[in-house]
Amino acid sequence: MTSPTGKRVLLAAPRGYCAGVDRAVIAVEKALEHYGAPVYVRKEIVHNKYVVESLSDKGAVFVNETDEVPEGARVVFSAHGVSPAVHEAAAERNLQTIDATCPLVTKVHKEAVRFAADDYDILLIGHEGHEEVEGTAGEAPDHVQIVNSPDDAVNVTVRDPEKVVWISQTTLSVDETMETVDRLRERFPTLQNPPSDDICYATQNRQVAVKKLAPECELVIVVGSANSSNSVRLVEVALNAGADASYRIDRAQEMDESWLDGVTTVGVTSGASVPEILVNDVLAYLAERGYGDVQEVRTATEDLMFSLPKELRADLKAAGNAPARPRRENRTSLSVEPV
Ligand code: SF4
């Protein structure tokens, strides 16, 4: 319903859970149901505090490295992927692994392996220290250099400027990545592109939706955790696209009343690892403050789903449990009007 004050929310769509996150979270839930607690998980299964806390409550035990997992126990690898060295370390301890690496991250790993086999210098655009980047770089440590930002392009040195390829982390800003590529190409004109987009469909779609609504918003709220790369990027995208202000919050309790001073239109979106319940809490908070008119700004429809990790599928099948299809999480419980 339109507010007499003109106050409204523009709700980005797509937002929230992507196919890779949905699959990884369900993998841990199914593993807990099927094998019983504890199920160990190396690193945060996805970068979201609420999800990690919820799974911990159900019996998941999050560890930093495989040497914290008891010999022979079951461990799930997170959606961000792991390097071959992690697989080897797990095998040495006879761990039973369930690999929940997102298939779109695995695709980038395979690119790194293939270009390394052809002896390319591989420029991996991504954030040093991010788990996904560590995993991808670990596929070909002798061939990969990490390029953190456009400014970092000047620091790159290669063996043969004619044999250089770039690949990237899946959750980067599309615009900033292309700026980095342009800078690299100034230095290496024959720089080869990856065979297909490495920045995944979910990251791109969420950025496109925010770009569309941000120019109309005095404030854009991004629900997502601080270590979620794609969530942090959404704040940057919102500001670059014209929002007067943008804040990332983990949950509605972190909203600050003063952010709403003089604000008529609030944009709301969420990162790819964020369950919709957290967005609904923010919408409820806003509705209580006069922003009950929620209009959806949809720029794409997503129907991609990935099947569960093969190790888990096989065990569920052997036990006569039909493997569950990952569910779609990006629904809202509030009625919204498309614009
Ligand atoms: S953000 Fe993209 S790459 Fe990461 S888990 Fe989701 S679909 Fe996979």
- What's the mean pLDDT in 127-137? 97
Are 326 and 11 contacting, i.e. CB atoms less than 8 angstroms apart? Answer: no
The predicted model scores a pTM of 0.94
Which ligand 1 atom minimizes the distance to the CA of 170?
Answer: 3
Q: Is 200 annotated as a binding residue?
A: yes
- 34 assigned ligand-binding residue: no
Separation between Cα atoms, residue 122 and residue 115, nearest integer Å: 7
- Of 315, 309, 268, nearest to 292 by C-alpha is 268
44 as an active site residue: the answer is no
The pLDDT assigned to 3 comes to 74
Residues 6+ apart with CB under 8 A from 210: 12, 220, 222, 234, 237, 238, 241, 267, 269
Tell me what pLDDT residue 338 has: 38
**Residue 258 assigned as binding residue:** no
Q: Residue 103 CA: which ligand 1 atom is closest? A: 8
Q: Hey, how many other C-beta atoms are within 10 angstroms of the C-beta on 157?
A: 8
Residues in the ligand 1 pocket, defined by CB under 6 Å: 18-21, 79, 102, 104-105, 170-171, 200, 202-203, 230, 272
Residue 323 is predicted with a pLDDT of 65
Which residue's alpha carbon is at the smallest distance from atom 5 of ligand 1?
20
Tokens 């190396």 locate to 42
Catalytic residue among 132, 134, 139, 296: 132
- Summarize pLDDT for 287-311 with one digit per residue, the tens: 999 999 999 999 999 999 999 999 9
- Rounded to whole angstroms, the Cα distance separating 230 from 273 reads 9
Atom of ligand 1 nearest to the CA of 18: 6
Q: Which of 110, 171, 225 to mutate to test the pocket of ligand 1 (most atoms within 8 A of CB)?
A: 171
Pocket test for ligand 1, best of 105, 136, 205 (most atoms within 8 A of CB): 105
SS3 272: coil
Residue 333 banded pLDDT, cuts 50, 70, 90: very low
Name the residue at shortest CA distance from atom 8 of ligand 1. Answer: 20
Q: Which residues pair with 167 in a beta bridge?
A: 124
- Angle, alpha carbons 30-33-39 (nearest 5°): 80
Ligand 1 centroid distance, CA of 207 (Å): 13
DSSP 3-state of 62: strand
With bands split at pLDDT 50, 70 and 90, how would you rate the model's confidence at 266?
very high
Q: Known binder of ligand: residue 273?
A: yes
